[in-house]
Amino acid sequence: MPAARDPAQAGEQETTPRFISVVGAGQMGSGIAQVAAMSGYPVLMHDLDPGQLDRGRTRIRASLDRFIKSGRMDQAAAQAALDRIQTTTRLDEAADHADFIFENVPEILELKQEVFTQLDRIAPPHAVLATNTSQLSPTAIGRDVGRRDRVLAMHWFNPPPIMKLIEVIRALETSDDTVGRSVRLASSMGKDVVICQKDSPGFIVTRLLLAQRAEALRLLDEGIASVADIDRAIELALNHPMGPFKLADQTGLDTALRNMEYLAAEYGGRFRPTATLRNMVQVGRLGRKSGRGFYGYQP
Ligand SMILES: NC(=O)c1ccc[n+]([C@@H]2O[C@H](COP(=O)([O-])OP(=O)(O)OC[C@H]3O[C@@H](n4cnc5c(N)ncnc54)[C@H](O)[C@@H]3O)[C@@H](O)[C@H]2O)c1
């Protein structure tokens, strides 16, 4: 196990964690492990699949190389970050020393509940269990654990080493102390946070994103403006880097449709997907990944 990070040396309060665990080493988990290691934390990265641990490490190495090439990091710092990450297929090994655990297994409620129940048994009593769910309820994910005051969601954005924001979502019984520890940890890793005070579908970011997307789809279906003009209006007048249709093509229109249906079920008509979006998904125009969505793409 690598040496614990010394919060005093980093000029931080004693309550920042000394050991971090990441459960699930896919796209997000490996990115979060990288961010934590780049910030000086020893990290244990766990996955059931050893191949995923290898691929996670390869992704981290490639990302660190890009940091070096762009002059944002030197070789020694990148190597030190890599050395801080250990991997294991055993959950008990990953969690029994951890002060803070980031769960990144697939977006399936029963799976996340099971992982939380196991973590509750293994992790030290003071450890915080944070889920990186995109849209499930952190209250439901932590339903069966004893330490419900130390459960919350920390929703990262992809790719974690680049994206600046973490959305912190309180579960029903999350304590102020847990929120404080999470905010301090995020800040020690160079991230900004927004706090969603109530566990509610779509949290903050997804609700804002889909509200704009729903209105853009209505403008299109009403024949008021073209795809390109709606995107340009948002990019040039509202200063977003990417319009709603370009972004939806990138996310995948099947995912975009599912997300809208999920929020429509909760909040009603204002999030209802339009006929155009449904039809496009029907015929397999799914965006960038299928070569055609609102725009055409070269293979
Ligand atoms: N991909 C994104 O853009 C994004 C953004 C924000 C949040 N999220 C959320 O992050 C979570 C992970 O997403 P991802 O894109 O990294 O998925 P992924 O499929 O890339 O990775 C999931 C990993 O979990 C592992 N896993 C499965 N069951 C496990 C278990 N019981 N114990 C340990 N590991 C297990 C898998 O082997 C896999 O490596 C999901 O909840 C997702 O909704 C994803």
Q: List CB contacts of 281: < 8 A, sequence separation 6 or more.
A: 253, 254, 257
The yes/no answer on whether domain 207-288 falls in CATH 1.10.1040.10 is: yes
Exposed e or buried b per residue across 273-298, where buried means at least 16 C-beta atoms within 10 angstroms of its C-beta: bbeebeebbeeebbbbebebbbeeee
Written as one letter, the residue type at 137 is S
Share of the chain above pLDDT 90, in %: 91
Burial label for 239, CB within 10 Å (0-12, 13-18, 19+), is exposed
pLDDT for 186-238, tens place per residue? 999 999 999 999 999 999 999 999 999 999 999 999 999 999 999 999 999 99
Say what the pLDDT of residue 163 is. Answer: 96
- What mean pLDDT value characterizes the chain? 95
Say what the pLDDT of residue 48 is. Answer: 98
Start-end ranges of CATH 3.40.50.720 in the chain?
A: 20-196
Kindly report the pTM of this predicted structure. 0.91
In the reported structure, the alpha carbon of residue 114 is separated from the centroid of ligand 1 by a whole-number distance in angstroms of 14
Neighbours of 190 (CB within 10 A): 11
Angle at 146 between CA 205 and CA 193, to 5 degrees: 25
Say what the pLDDT of residue 251 is. Answer: 87
Q: Which fold has domain 20-196?
A: Rossmann fold (3.40.50)
Pocket lining for ligand 1, CB < 6 angstroms? 23-29, 46-49, 52, 104-107, 111, 115, 132-134, 156, 158
DSSP letter at 15 equals T
Question: Ligand 1 pocket: which of 57, 110, 134, 157 to mutate (most atoms <8 Å of CB)?
Answer: 134
Using CA atoms, how far apart are residues 256 and 248, in angstroms rounded to an integer?
Answer: 6
Burial label for 163, CB within 10 Å (0-12, 13-18, 19+), is middle
The residues with which 292 forms a beta bridge, in sequence order, are: 287, 296
Q: Whose CA is nearest to atom 25 of ligand 1?
A: 24
pLDDT < 50 positions in the chain:
none
In the reported structure, the alpha carbon of residue 218 is separated from the centroid of ligand 1 by a whole-number distance in angstroms of 33
The dihedral over CA atoms of 147, 50, 34, 208, expressed in degrees to the nearest 10, equals -60
Angle at 79 between CA 78 and CA 80, to 5 degrees: 90
pLDDT for 281-294, tens place per residue? 999 999 999 999 99
- CB-CB contact of 189 with 183 (8 Å): no
Start-end ranges of CATH 1.10.1040.10 in the chain?
A: 207-288
